[in-house]
Structure 1
Amino acid sequence: MLGDLTFRLAGQGDLPAILALLRDDRLGAGRENAPSAAYERAFARLLDEPDNHLILGEIDAMAVATYQLTFITGLSLGATRRAQIESVRVAASMRGAGIGARMFADAETRARAAGCALLQLTTNATRTDARAFYERLGFTPTHIGFKRQISPAEDAPCPMT
């Protein structure tokens, strides 16, 4: 069944499927509830950013997975270019079928092609199964992550509220 799994850049008509995947999750169900217009603005902005990619995994044109891949150029680690992986989701009905491993292989291929030498991601501390999965893929928990909510400036082009 996974032989027909493909990954592609998301396009304009894919927002509903991506939002459904983000909400098909115990954490996402409670937090992905912004007004539709906010998601539409953010999606349009993301599509315009050349180093920011939203990827959709499909089997027979049915959305089964998504992730966001952002390429970051920096000076640290000897000017290592890195790829940040975010918003990783596999449809609940498809978890455990090998889609996640294929998704991360796709992310690595895209990152290498963009000149990246490091893949990095964060995961919610409550996602113990996800952490074990990432470690099986060879990721190591080398850092402690911190996040702090802030309010965007009133004239920000894409408010997240």
Structure 2
Amino acid sequence: MNVQYRQAQEEDLTVLIHMLADDPLGAKREDLSISINKKYIDAMKAISDDPNNELWVVEAGGAVIGMLQLTFIPYLTHIGSWRCLIEGVRIAKSHRGQGLGEQMFEHAIDRARSRGCNLVQLTSDKQRPDALRFYEKLGFVASHEGFKLAL
């Protein structure tokens, strides 16, 4: 599939939020009944202003059809290395099953390499078995147990 990658802009927020809400788990996290609020705008600005964060959109035919966020993290471990955290991966329903996810991860991994990262990591909700299988197919290994604490 012929696609273009670019950094997300504030004008993309509506489409991005709809993609984030377009599954059973996302629908619980996002509220499409409200308009774009200050929290979303502030989050977008914080991501844009942070040199260690990148929010990418994927376009085809002038429409945004995918998104992902990359966060570059310095560590003292692994001899002071950098790693890349991939989050917020979404593909519009109309474009799923066409190999776009693999292309998006190639892009993300290339970005991580270009930033000098020696590790790429991600988290995925255990309630997303298809996503877990997809990540394993790409070579990711479920090597750690993750924990969250809601505040």
What TM-score range do you get, normalising by the shorter chain? Answer: over 0.9
Q: Work out whether residues 86 and 121 of structure 2, in 8 Å CA contact, stay in contact via their aligned partners in 1.
A: yes
Please give the TM-score of this superposition, normalised by the length of structure 1.
Answer: 0.88
Per-residue CA deviation, residues 15-37 of structure 1 (Å, 9 max, x unaligned), is 11211111112211121128622
Equivalent position of 2:47 in the other structure:
46
User: Any idea what SS the aligned residue of 1:86 has?
Assistant: strand
User: Any idea what SS the aligned residue of 1:55 has?
Assistant: strand
Shift of 1:44: 1.2
Q: Provide the rounded CA distance (Å) in 2 between the counterparts of 1:23 and 1:64.
A: 14
User: Any idea what SS the aligned residue of 1:146 has?
Assistant: coil
Shift of 1:93: 1.7
Equivalent position of 1:136 in the other structure:
137
Equivalent position of 2:5 in the other structure:
7
Equivalent position of 1:20 in the other structure:
18
Q: Provide the rounded CA distance (Å) in 2 between the counterparts of 1:14 and 1:51.
A: 20
Q: Provide the rounded CA distance (Å) in 1 between the counterparts of 2:78 and 2:4.
A: 33
Equivalent position of 2:120 in the other structure:
119
**Matched length:** 148
Q: Which has the higher contact order (CA 8 A, sep 6+)?
A: 1
Task: Output aligned runs, 1:1-161, within 5 Å.
Answer: 2-3=1-2, 5-33=3-31, 36-150=37-151
User: Any idea what SS the aligned residue of 1:7 has?
Assistant: strand
Partner letter of residue 136 of structure 2?
Answer: E
Per-residue CA deviation, residues 20-77 of structure 1 (Å, 9 max, x unaligned), is 1111122111211286221111111111111101000110111111000000011112
User: Any idea what SS the aligned residue of 1:138 has?
Assistant: coil
Runs of 4+ aligned residues of structure 1 deviating over 4 Å after TM superposition are none
Please give the TM-score of this superposition, normalised by the length of structure 2.
Answer: 0.93
Q: Provide the rounded CA distance (Å) in 1 between the counterparts of 2:14 and 2:54.
A: 17
Q: Work out whether residues 74 and 80 of structure 2, in 8 Å CA contact, stay in contact via their aligned partners in 1.
A: yes
Q: Provide the rounded CA distance (Å) in 2 between the counterparts of 1:112 and 1:73.
A: 14
User: Any idea what SS the aligned residue of 1:96 has?
Assistant: coil
- Structure 2 gaps of 5+ residues are none
Q: Provide the rounded CA distance (Å) in 1 between the counterparts of 2:46 and 2:56.
A: 15
- Structure 1 gaps of 5+ residues are 151-161
